[in-house]
Structure 1
Amino acid sequence: MGELGLVHRHEKSGQLHGLMRVRCFTQDDAHIFMTPDQIKDEIKGVAGLINEVYSLFGFKYHVELSTRPEDSMGSDEDWEMATDALRGALDDLGLPYVVNEGDGAFYGPKIDFHLEDSIGRTWQCGTIQLDFQLPLRFELEYTGADGEKHRPIMIHRVVFGSIERFIGILIEHFAGAFPTWLAPVQVKVLPISDKYLEYGQSVLDQLNAAGIRAEIDTRAEKIGYKIREAQMKKIPYMLVVGAKEEEEKKVSVRSRFAGDEGQKGLEEFIAAIMEETAKKEIREVTKEEK
């Protein structure tokens, strides 16, 4: 069971920090119920999901395993079994981790995933927490293979943690220069003058019809100014359209990654950007714009 739930936390005013630490945030909370012998495989599955998501964005992260605190609930046997399962899952996955002795939750041990931002700070985001107590409190039971009633074990898991914090880290990580598949505006259409607004609008309509997030700059400004402004906004692609482009039904492509990429047919450009987006590529900058 999972949900995107709104969470309120009364942080002290001096501890508030932009999107990174707020009093109200959205959490991708999910709960998995399982038998004791399923713990290890379920942990590996969740850890694999978290790794897949973080790798998609190119994030570096480290893992911390927190063990039984002094003020805890549950038997020694339960804690030992759960902690061994967490260790075993991390070892099987080949994930290096730091052990925080006594830093687990009162209801079970946990694994925390800490993302590194662009200036080297780390922020706790993903979490996998084992919980013996809630199934007990709610008197949850399942019928085992032996025909007897047994108590399940529950995992609390979040991948993003605070979605607001994750977005803040994401903005800083890319310094606003998002890869094409993430950019709020992927393409800016730049007519050279008012005479080419109609063709520019036609280009925009075809881009939008293909599901590409595009805008057009219709202002009566010099093309150099329009290009520079689009560069400052870190828009991945700029399509310059003028007399030659209209006549040949093409666009002149400038990118944030390689500068002037020459003229291309619009269908060719659309196919290329859709492939880049589908693959969720993070293109490297090969030419700095002046």
Structure 2
Amino acid sequence: IILNKELWVRSGHWDHYRENMYFTEIDGKEYAVKPMNCPGGMLVYKSSLHSYRELPIRMAEIGLVHRHELSGVLHGLMRVRAFNQDDAHIYMTPDQIKDEIKGVITLADKIYSVFGFDYHIELSTKPENAMGSDEVWERATTALREALEELGKEYRINEGDGAFYGPKIDFHLKDSIGRTWQCGTIQLDFMMPERFDLTYINEKGEKVRPVMLHRTIYGSIERFMGILIEHYAGVFPVWLAPEQIRILSVTTRNNEYAQKIFFMLSEEGFRVNAKLENEKIGAKIRDAELARVPYMIIIGDREEEKSLISVRKKGEGDLGAFRLEEFIERVKKEIKEYK
């Protein structure tokens, strides 16, 4: 969480990102609360020797970061001062650059498709406060551009909005009401390995520099959760819903059978709850509707006598009677297909 000033000076954040950082002093020495995970990741890489045979090395973490955002731009889960990033840092040889970029783009596309998001891609180029030469920046930007074009991805150029240490690909997700949110990013970095003196042993036995790729898919986990909640308006598909199934007994005399169904569904791995209180079934159904539970199972005398369950689905209403095995197969299929 807290790393000393020397590390942030070496990474360039002290000169290029200080206005967004928090600071403290311990025993007369200056420290900063980390706004990014990458310097720590480089210390992990540097802690041991590496051979070209190991590369690419892909290191991932869920890292807590703090950034001093102005109070006027804070906005619910969408813009916060402390958040968790699904960060990964990939260390690679120069000839692995394009394949690694393509792999991350493909991963991002797969994940966003599962959640049902449309997105557009921006290629952000060298900013005014950049580190490094124009030659290095052009080399990195060309690699990102060629990876996008070889995958047939459309993209926009966002001039001057790259990170201070390298150009980047940004993924902007479109929610259900048309707003866009920047989430995933891929940043190609020749600068940090130089500043931290990262090396690997090549096939000739020489110490050489790796190239580094920074990537997140969700970006801020908190922001992504906020986007999901608003995108689905709280009506999550069954595979994503925190409560997938709610069992409702018509009367308390049906509770024993309802509990049997509850335990059988729980053993199948479903996120299931049971409401067995002595209340009117109409009130129980309304509560489940308000809670946006995808499936309700109604257990009354008729269901118990025939060893069946009555099923209601959010947005579709009464689906009729099912054998429990049929219902389990149906829901498992929906979950497997991310419906």
TM-score for the superposition, normalised by structure 2:
0.80
Give the alignment's Cα RMSD to 1 decimal. Answer: 1.2
Letter in structure 2 aligned against 1:95: K
What secondary structure, in the 3-state scheme, does the structure 2 residue paired with 1:160 have?
A: strand
Structure 1 residue aligned with 2:123, among 65, 82, 92? 65
Q: Is 1:167 paired with 2:225?
A: yes
Letter in structure 1 aligned against 2:110: E
Q: CA deviation at 1:144?
A: 2.8
Unpaired runs of 5+ in structure 2? Answer: 1-58
Q: State the match for 1:110 in structure 2.
A: 168
Letter in structure 2 aligned against 1:20: M
Q: State the match for 1:213 in structure 2.
A: 271
1: distance between equivalents of 2:136 and 2:315? 53
Structure 2 residue aligned with 1:127, among 182, 185, 193? 185
Q: CA deviation at 1:279?
A: 2.0
2: distance between equivalents of 1:28 and 1:161? 6
Q: State the match for 1:26 in structure 2.
A: 84
Letter in structure 1 aligned against 2:260: S
2: distance between equivalents of 1:264 and 1:183? 22
What secondary structure, in the 3-state scheme, does the structure 2 residue paired with 1:212 have?
A: coil
Q: State the match for 2:327 in structure 1.
A: 269
What secondary structure, in the 3-state scheme, does the structure 2 residue paired with 1:159 have?
A: strand
Q: State the match for 2:240 in structure 1.
A: 182
Q: Is 1:14 paired with 2:61?
A: no
Q: State the match for 1:284 in structure 2.
A: none
1: distance between equivalents of 2:256 and 2:201? 69
Structure 2 residue aligned with 1:79, among 137, 151, 163? 137
Per-residue CA deviations over 1:73-117 (Å, capped at 9, x if unaligned) read 223322111111100111111111110112111211111111112
What secondary structure, in the 3-state scheme, does the structure 1 residue paired with 2:219 have?
A: coil
The alignment of Structure 1 onto Structure 2 pairs a total of residues equal to: 281
1: distance between equivalents of 2:187 and 2:291? 40
Unpaired runs of 5+ in structure 1? Answer: 282-290
1: distance between equivalents of 2:98 and 2:253? 65
2: distance between equivalents of 1:269 and 1:234? 19
Structure 2 residue aligned with 1:51, among 102, 109, 119? 109
TM-score for the superposition, normalised by structure 1:
0.94
Q: State the match for 1:5 in structure 2.
A: 63
Q: CA deviation at 1:193?
A: 0.6
Q: State the match for 2:4 in structure 1.
A: none
Structure 2 residue aligned with 1:229, among 282, 287, 292? 287
Q: CA deviation at 1:190?
A: 0.9
Q: CA deviation at 1:270?
A: 1.2
8 Å contact kept, 2:124–2:169 = yes
Point out the more displaced range, 18-27 or 141-150: 141-150
2: distance between equivalents of 1:13 and 1:118? 27
8 Å contact kept, 2:247–2:275 = yes
2: distance between equivalents of 1:252 and 1:207? 15
Q: CA deviation at 1:256?
A: 1.1
8 Å contact kept, 2:91–2:213 = yes
8 Å contact kept, 2:244–2:271 = yes
1: distance between equivalents of 2:257 and 2:275? 13
Q: CA deviation at 1:48?
A: 0.6
2: distance between equivalents of 1:138 and 1:9? 23
Letter in structure 2 aligned against 1:28: D
- Aligned ranges for residues 89-100 of structure 1 at < 5 Å? 89-100=147-158
8 Å contact kept, 2:140–2:189 = no
